[in-house]
Copies of this chain bind each other. A is one copy, B any other.
Amino acid sequence: MQENTQAPIEEKPSTTRRKREKAYRERTILDAALSLFVEKGFHQTSASEIANAAEVSVGTVYFYFKNKETLLIRLTEEIAYELRKLVGSEFSQSDGSLDGFRRAGISFFKDFCIPHPEKVTLLFREAVGHSEEVEKARKRGFTQLTEDVRKAILFMAENMNRPLTTPESAEVLAVSIVGIYERVAYNYLFWNDDKADILKVGDDAVTFLVAGVERFLKP
């Protein structure tokens, strides 16, 4: 009688294992795809290359992902999400001052660009302009990130008791800030070998943008 009342929500252990394995396969394939897309470019990477790199068959790749585009979309979404989480957590730890703002910026370079250059490459280069669907995912990611930044500006303004001169400008500032991060990363990560100074450079960029933001705060 009570046998099956115990854990009606719990899955059978084998199901759990299956899910775990499934997730693991998916991960392996995504990782292989990320590496290859970044290394050779999306169009130059064939499905069977991904399969090889992931040590599965082509069929398996298509069992887990509808098509190649889906892989790119998934990666784009994942990475955009990761970036938001990082920046967001930095903000949430901040005290709502301009200084918290600084820290979030620095963190982008230190904790995202430096350890995960391949993710930067995918988001800022490989996912650009490939198809409607990919662009949609990219837009979503950037829009949300921008929105986060916008809210952070407003929160900070309120917290400092220095309201924005024109509150509707918060969005442009956010967009600009994202633009700065994007291009600075691109320039100093891909186009300059001198990767050492990205932190120094990032610091200047942050100083620059903080000053820009301040310009929009009432005294």
Mark A residues whose CB is within 8 Å of B.
Answer: 41-44, 125-126, 128-131, 139, 142-143, 146, 166, 169, 172-173, 175-176, 178-184, 187-188, 191, 201, 204-205, 207-209, 211-216
Contacts A125-B128, A179-B180 given; does A204 touch B172 at CB 8 Å: yes
With both chains docked as a complex, state the minimum distance between the C-beta of A51 and any C-beta of chain B, in angstroms.
15
Interface centre among A126, A146, A211, A212 (most CB of B within 10 A): A212
Asked whether, in the complex, the Cβ of A139 is within 8 Å of the Cβ of B191, the reply is: yes
Asked whether, in the complex, the Cβ of B178 is within 8 Å of the Cβ of A208, the reply is: no
| Complex Cα spacing A207 to B166, Å | 12
Q: Count copies of this chain in the complex.
A: 4
The A interface is mostly helix, strand or loop, or mixed, namely: helix
Asked whether, in the complex, the Cβ of A176 is within 8 Å of the Cβ of B126, the reply is: no
| Complex Cα spacing A205 to B180, Å | 11
With both chains docked as a complex, state the minimum distance between the C-beta of A196 and any C-beta of chain B, in angstroms.
14
| Complex Cα spacing A214 to B214, Å | 12
Contacts A179-B180, A183-B179 given; does A169 touch B204 at CB 8 Å: yes
Given contact pairs A172-B201, A211-B212, enumerate 18 new A-B contacts (beta carbons under 8 Å).
Answer: A41-B130, A44-B131, A129-B129, A139-B191, A143-B191, A169-B204, A172-B205, A172-B208, A175-B188, A175-B205, A176-B183, A176-B209, A179-B181, A179-B182, A207-B215, A211-B214, A211-B215, A212-B215
| Complex Cα spacing A130 to B129, Å | 9
Query: What are 16 inter-chain pairs, A to B, with CB distance below 8 A?
Result: A41-B131, A42-B129, A142-B191, A169-B204, A173-B204, A176-B183, A176-B205, A179-B181, A179-B182, A179-B184, A182-B182, A183-B183, A207-B215, A208-B212, A209-B212, A211-B215
